[in-house]
Amino acid sequence: MVPASARAWVEEVRALCQPDHVVWCDGSEAERERLTAEAVRDGVLLPLDPVKQPGSYLHRSDPSDVARTEHLTFICSNTKDEAGPNNNWMAPADARAKLTPLFRGAMRGRTLYVVPFVMGPVGSPFSKVGIEITDSVYVVLNMRIMTRMGNAAWTQLADGDDFTRCLHSLGDLSPDRRFICHFPQDNTIWSIGSGYGGNALLGKKCLALRIASALGRDQGWMAEHMLILGVQNPRGEKHYLCGAFPSACGKTNLAMLVPPPALAGRGWKVWTVGDDIAWLRPGPDGRLWAANPEAGFFGVAPGTSNKTNLNAMHTLARNAIFTNVGLGADGTVWWEGHHSPPPADMVDWRGRPWSPGAGEKAAHPNSRFTVPASQCPSIAPEWEDPAGVPISAILFGARRPRTVPLVFEARDWQHGTFVGATLASETTAAATGAVGVLRRDPMAMLPFCGYDMADYFGHWLRMGARVARPPRIFGVNWFRTDAAGRFLWPGYGENLRALEWVIERCEGRGDAVSTPIGNVPASLDLEGTGLDAAALAALTAVDREEWAKEAAAQADWFGTFGDRLPEAVWAEHARLSAAVSG
């Protein structure tokens, strides 16, 4: 069942890393129970209360290993140009020379787990096989939730050798010896020195975005940092949308949106297909079809509550692995922004006694839950359809207190590509000391595009030309404020009102007003929001002066890509500049 190519690679890694034991994972329930018991015995997982949080565990990471480390993440393409100004680059030979000594003997005294996995529904033309070799049982148990892990991968692979070689070791967890290296030409990832999800669950950001974006460029498909959701109208028709949002913009909440009572009462429903990554391919009907390559959610815990994301709270009620959250004496977990008060006698994410007046956070701001997507109450019944789902619209959203309207529609695919390429989010007081700094994050892919971003824009333009009926593209902004800094839009479930207009536009309906940046809604269904036409006018206003400044800032930033930036992007920029000047 295991192809010779996989056996040979595992043997090569075994000889290099010198583990005490080798375990080939099959993905079975018995294996999950055995590995979980071992993780509990070794203190890697702490069991939670079996009644209040059934099947769930807490993991505490090394305090220096709590997030992705972009400065230690490298694209090791053959040339620096290919990686582009958006990536750190190391020559493949240099990366191998640097990392091989770190892997040598790194698994002595440890177990080497061979974790075969499928990204995407098993048997789907979208899907890709990876094999992760790791010495972390935490990684194995998370991969089991986040991917289709185990024997299914050997079936999908058959006797081929078309799989991503994902090598991971915790090493000594020192940030001085931490590297996450991607070798797109060899379909290989080497990660050492970190157990954090984004650095160590190699199917996620490393394979499904960085490696897959390069594969997609070569093979004519797209790997995007996008949620996928289905919106069902009162006639029972479903439209599927993809959405790219930089972090801290409510992507997981949007993916699991609960319709507000006024819209639910009229029959609107929202279905979740994916919360983080979309793979898109042209379908036989001239549309773009999307599949979620993941099988679980690796979500940020703080701020998640019954109020902000009821579906997420139901999803994580059982069979969850929590990382770096607070723990009560009653065996329940807690984080800042939870709807319940903290349980008694809590310890913080590092295991130190904590009380509400402690002045420190109980949960790390990037603490996480890992849960199976199948447990989500809003999961679409077709979320694992091997054919994927046909995409009607793509949303690009970010946090913009000024300038960007609640929702606007791009003229066409080329203009929409420009809207994505100019995506930027303003920093908040909570995120950094500097408030109001605009960070460009094109298509929310800046940390995840495995090659030159200007070439990536070119790939977007080519893909649009390849499909006869490409999705319509929209910009959205839930975070516009008034002069006093108060949010103009209630957000959360009410965002469905903007999606209602998006869908009407996709159906060739919906009143629109043309502006220099695209179409904005002439009216929106605001029943039950307490907002009136004047509020809508403030939410959809397009201020030429602000946009002239925005266009100037875009030009500076595009300049950093040199002459690789496609002409069509500059053409769109010139068109915007002309439309907003004078």
Which residues sit opposite 372 in a β-bridge? 296
In the complex with ligand OXD, the residue whose CB is nearer, 135 or 276, is: 276
- Interface positions, 434-473, toward ligand OXD (CB under 6 A): none
CA distances 87 to 75, 200, 226, 466, 554, Å, are 6, 19, 20, 28, 19
Q: How far is the CB of 143 from ligand OXD (least distance, A)?
A: 15
| Count of residues of this chain found to bind ligand OXD when the rule CB under 6 A is applied | 5
Q: Residue with the closest Cβ to Mn ion?
A: 276
In the complex with Mn ion, the residue whose CB is nearer, 276 or 572, is: 276
Q: How far is the CB of 199 from ligand OXD (least distance, A)?
A: 10
Q: How far is the CB of 278 from ligand OXD (least distance, A)?
A: 13
In the complex with ligand OXD, the residue whose CB is nearer, 88 or 247, is: 247
Taking residues 277 to 316 in sequence order and writing x for each that binds ligand OXD by CB under 6 A, - otherwise, the string is ---------------------x------------------
Using CB distances below 5 to 8 A depending on partner kind, what does residue 198 bind out of ligand OXD, Mn ion, none? ligand OXD
- The type of residue at 52 is K
Instruction: Check binding of 247 to ligand OXD (CB under 6 A).
Output: yes
Between CA 69 and CA 48 the distance in angstroms is 29
In the complex with Mn ion, the residue whose CB is nearer, 48 or 226, is: 226
Which tokens hold the place of 107?
């698994």
Taking residues 47 to 86 in sequence order and writing x for each that binds ligand OXD by CB under 6 A, - otherwise, the string is ---------------------x------------------
In the complex with ligand OXD, the residue whose CB is nearer, 298 or 474, is: 298
Q: Residue with the closest Cβ to ligand OXD?
A: 276
Handedness of CA 487, 488, 493, 499 (dihedral sign): negative
In the complex with Mn ion, the residue whose CB is nearer, 294 or 550, is: 294
H, E, C per residue of 351-403: CCEECHHHCCCCCCCCCEEEEEHHHCCCECCCCCCCCCEEEEEEEEECCCCCC
Q: How far is the CB of 276 from ligand OXD (least distance, A)?
A: 5
In the complex with ligand OXD, the residue whose CB is nearer, 151 or 247, is: 247
Q: How far is the CB of 51 from Mn ion (least distance, A)?
A: 33
Which tokens hold the place of 554?
């875009």
DSSP 73: E
In the set 25, 242, 249, 376, the catalytic residue is 249
Q: How far is the CB of 198 from ligand OXD (least distance, A)?
A: 5
Q: What are the phi and psi torsion angles at 119 (to 5°)?
A: -100, 125
Using CB distances below 5 to 8 A depending on partner kind, what does residue 96 bind out of Mn ion, ligand OXD, none? none
Which tokens hold the place of 103?
């892997």
Which tokens hold the place of 344?
């008694």
Q: How far is the CB of 28 from ligand OXD (least distance, A)?
A: 28
Q: How far is the CB of 296 from ligand OXD (least distance, A)?
A: 12
Region binding Mn ion by CB under 5 A among candidate stretches 273-281, 307-315, 328-336, 548-556: 273-281
Which residues, at least 6 apart from 355, have a Cβ–Cβ distance to it below 8 Å?
Answer: 346
Which residues sit opposite 183 in a β-bridge? 188
Concerning whether 25 is annotated as a catalytic residue, the answer is no
Dihedral (C-alpha) 165, 171, 173, 179: value to the nearest 10 degrees?
Answer: -40
**Closest by Cα among 428, 404, 438 to 303:** 428
In the complex with ligand OXD, the residue whose CB is nearer, 68 or 549, is: 68
Strands 163-169 and 188-192 come out as: parallel
Member of 65, 135, 275, 276 binding Mn ion (CB under 5 A): 276
Which tokens hold the place of 205?
């950001």
Which residues sit opposite 232 in a β-bridge? 238, 269
Query: Is residue 394 within 8 Å of 471, Cβ to Cβ?
Result: yes
Between CA 215 and CA 187 the distance in angstroms is 9
Between CA 401 and CA 578 the distance in angstroms is 24
DSSP 240: E
The structure tokens 């979620």 sit at 292
- Interface positions, 166-205, toward ligand OXD (CB under 6 A): 198
Please report, as ranges, the residues that interact with ligand OXD according to CB under 6 A. 68, 198, 247, 276, 298
Enumerate the active-site residues: 249
Please report, as ranges, the residues that interact with Mn ion according to CB under 5 A. 276
